[in-house]
Structure 1
Amino acid sequence: MIRKMQISDTDRVYQIENESFFEPWSKKQLIRELTQNSLLSHYVYEDKGEILGFYIASKVLDLVEVFTIAVDKNYRKRGVGSELLSHLIDKSVKEGASEIWLEVSTKNKRALALYEKFGFERVGIRKNYYQKLGEDAYNMKRILK
């Protein structure tokens, strides 16, 4: 089940974020953005009471930007990421968005394959986007209308 994130979810979300990214959001930042930033949407994927993944995105006017999407390392390749991305796309369409944008490491082959499966296209490159890793990122976009 995919539902809105709650404060009580932040420990688990932080754990997934921390194991998924080199420079994760802090727990304090997750809580602050959840409680104070009305432009962001926070959703979790929950199964049998356990959070297996989540996403955070914003919608300004008709553009959606994905800030982060992650799945617990023990539940990858089981469709959780696809369900989260499908939810995000469906929600964006219902809210009248025309495009969804995101950045992804050029080395993250698994994420690239997922995004391309859902119709995202590489439209640019951001050199040294992940500075501490020395990695570039693709700008990706999916047109909804």
Structure 2
Amino acid sequence: MIIPVGCAYSDTFVVSLKAIPSGLADSARCACISANAANHGMQPMSRIAISLCQDAGQTYHCLDTRARRNMLRLASPDDQDTVYSIYMHPDVIPYLGYDPMSAAEFRAVFQELVDCRSFYVLEQEGSIAAFCRTTRQPGRASHVATLGTLAVAPRWRGTGIARQLLEQIFTLLKTQGVLRVELMLEVDNPRAFAFYSKLGFEQEGIMRAAYKRSSDAHYTDEIFMAKLLADLPSA
């Protein structure tokens, strides 16, 4: 089963592994996925990038990477230096979860992000333009996902990359059965608040003194926001 996903720059789709014969090597899976894509009216693909998504191994998120644009994939160990440089940028780090640290200290932080298998990077023109982590809630809240560790490389700010990243993340989460997406942001980040509001997030509360930068003498409140990815079923 192939589910088309809207994409401004390249053909993107999600393919269930149930449609792909088991026991195939990655190269053979690429060929099979490419053939399935062509059968569904998509352009022939000379090269496919595959990232295993957080769906109990049942889904790949794939796209044509000939132009190396707008590619959403899971982060890999090779991304550490680039992610570190974005994370530690003076315009970025005030709104992420850790204070400035050395590259050696960041190694453990990044390894945890890679190991969680839900930390995604968006490539643009062959380099990482943005990244984001999704966390599924357990049990009766399994239809809820939390966004975090979201940042855009300074060179890509104001270009629509953050919207492209989240639109692809929302599409991916919907295929995994997520209905509700939550996030938190600092009250001193009005730009982010305006951005998330435009994407349909609504403020649901204030978390008092939930954040503190080592450079600040004071604690910072955080805004709790959420968005529904689909209409609620009727009672």
TM-score normalised to structure 2 length: 0.57
Q: Does 1:80 align with 2:161?
A: yes
What SS class does the counterpart of residue 78 from structure 1 fall into? coil
2:222 maps to what in 1?
A: 137
Distance 1:46 1:139 in 2: 28
Alignment of 1:118-133 (within 5 A): 118-132=199-213, 133=216
CA RMSD of aligned residues (A): 1.6
Name the aligned partner's letter for residue 113 of structure 2.
Answer: E
Distance 2:133 2:154 in 1: 18
- Match for residue 48 of structure 1 among 109, 125, 128: 125
Deviation digits for residues 66-93 of structure 1, max 9, x if unmatched? 1211001121000111111111111111
Q: Does 1:30 align with 2:110?
A: yes
Specify the structure having the higher radius of gyration (Cα): 2
Q: What stretches of structure 2 of length at least 5 have no aligned partner?
A: 1-70, 100-105, 231-235
The number of residue pairs the alignment matches comes to 142
Report sequence identity in percent: 27
The structure in which a higher percent of residues are strand is 1
1:66 maps to what in 2?
A: 147
Pairwise CA distance, 1:30: 1.4
Q: What stretches of structure 1 of length at least 5 have no aligned partner?
A: none
Higher relative contact order (CA closer than 8 Å, sequence separation 6+): 1
Give the conservation status (yes or no) of the 8 Å contact 1:17–1:24: no
Give the conservation status (yes or no) of the 8 Å contact 1:93–1:144: yes
2:93 maps to what in 1?
A: 21
Distance 1:9 1:114 in 2: 26
Pairwise CA distance, 1:24: 3.0
Give the conservation status (yes or no) of the 8 Å contact 1:11–1:27: no
Q: Which moved more, 1:131-140 or 1:112-121?
A: 131-140
